Structure 1
Amino acid sequence: MKTYSENVLAKVPEVTLGFWLIKIAATTLGETGGDAASMSMNLGYLTSTGIFAALFVIAVAHQIKSKAFHPLIYWTTIIATTTVGTTLADFADRSLGIGYAGGTTLLSALLLASLLLWKRTLGSVSVNTVSSPRAEMFYWITIMFSQTLGTALGDWTADSAGMGYTGAAAIFGGLLALLVLAYYGTKISRTLLFWAAFILTRPLGAVVGDFLDKPLSAGGLALSRYGASIALLAFMLCAMLLFRQRAATASH
Structure 2
Amino acid sequence: MTYETHETAEVSPVLPATDPAASGHRLRWNKVPEVTVYFWVIKVLCTTVGETAADLLNENLGLGLTRVSLLMSVALVAALVLQFRTRAYRPGVYWLSVALISVVGTLISDNLTDNLGVPLTTSTTVFALALAVVFAVWFRRERTLSIHSIDTVSREAYYWLAVLFTFALGTAAGDLLAERMDLGYWLSALLFALAIAAVAVARFALGLNAVWSFWIAYVLTRPLGASIGDYLSQPTHGGGLGFGTVVTSVLFLAVILGLVVFLTVTRRDVTETERRAAHAG
TM-score (norm 2): 0.83
Match of 1:120 in 2: 140
Q: Which runs of 5+ in 1 are unaligned?
A: none
**Structure 1 residues 85-127: Cα deviation after superposition (integer angstroms, max 9, x where no partner):** 1121111112211122222111111111111111111111111
- Which of 48, 53, 61 is the equivalent residue of 1:33? 53
Which runs of 5 or more structure 2 residues have no equivalent in the other structure?
1-18, 20-26, 275-281
Q: 2:95 aligns with which of 52, 58, 75?
A: 75
**69-78 or 231-240, which moves further after superposition?**
231-240
1:15–1:39 Cα change, 3 Å: same
Q: What is the rounded CA distance, in whole Å, between the counterparts of 1:76 and 1:209 in structure 2?
A: 18
Following the alignment from structure 1 to structure 2, what is the Cα–Cα distance between the partners of residues 197 and 228? 24
Measure the CA separation in 1 of the matches of 2:87 and 2:228: 35
One-letter identity of the residue aligned with 1:246: D
**Can you list the C-alpha shifts for 1:27-64, whole angstroms capped at 9, x where unaligned?**
11111111111111122222211111111111111111
The partner residue of 2:179 within 159, 163, 182 is 159
Larger Rg: 2
Q: Distance in 1 between matches of 2:181 and 2:42?
A: 28
Higher normalized helix content (fraction of residues): 1
Q: Secondary structure of 2:243's partner?
A: coil
Residue correspondences, number: 246
**Out of 114, 126, 131, which is 1:94 matched to?**
114
Pairing 1:43–2:66 present: no
CA distance in structure 2 between the aligned counterparts of 1:99 and 1:219, rounded to whole angstroms: 24
- Are 1:122 and 1:135, in contact at CA under 8 Å, matched by a contact in 2? yes
**Higher RCO, 1 or 2 (CA under 8 Å, sep at least 6)?**
1
Aligned counterpart, 2:270:
247
Question: Between the two proteins, what is the percent identity of the paired residues?
Answer: 31
> Match for 2:204: what amino acid?
Y
Q: Which residue of 1 aligns with 2:22?
A: none
**What is the aligned partner in structure 2 of residue 185 from structure 1?**
205
Contact 1:93 1:102 in 2 (8 A): no
Q: Secondary structure at the match of 1:11?
A: coil
Per-residue deviation at 1:250? 4.4
Check if 1:204 corresponds to 2:227: no
Show the counterpart of 1:232.
252
Amino acid at match of 1:53: S
Give the aligned partner of residue 170 of structure 1. 190
- Alignment partner, residue 133 of structure 1: 153
Distance, in Å, in 1 between the alignment partners of 2:238 and 2:123 is 22
Q: Name the amino acid aligned to 1:77.
A: S
Q: TM-score, normalised by structure 1?
A: 0.92
Q: Is the 8 A contact 2:36 2:269 kept in 1?
A: no
d(CA) in 1 for partners of 2:209, 2:246: 39
Looking at structure 1, the residues matched to 54 and 72 of structure 2 have their Cα atoms a distance apart, in angstroms, of 8
Please give the alpha-carbon distance, in whole angstroms, between the structure 2 residues aligned to 1:79 and 1:220: 23
Q: Could you tell me how far apart the structure 1 residues matched to 2:64 and 2:180 are?
A: 22
SS at match of 1:129: coil
The separation in 1 between residues aligned to 2:220 and 2:226, in whole angstroms, is 10
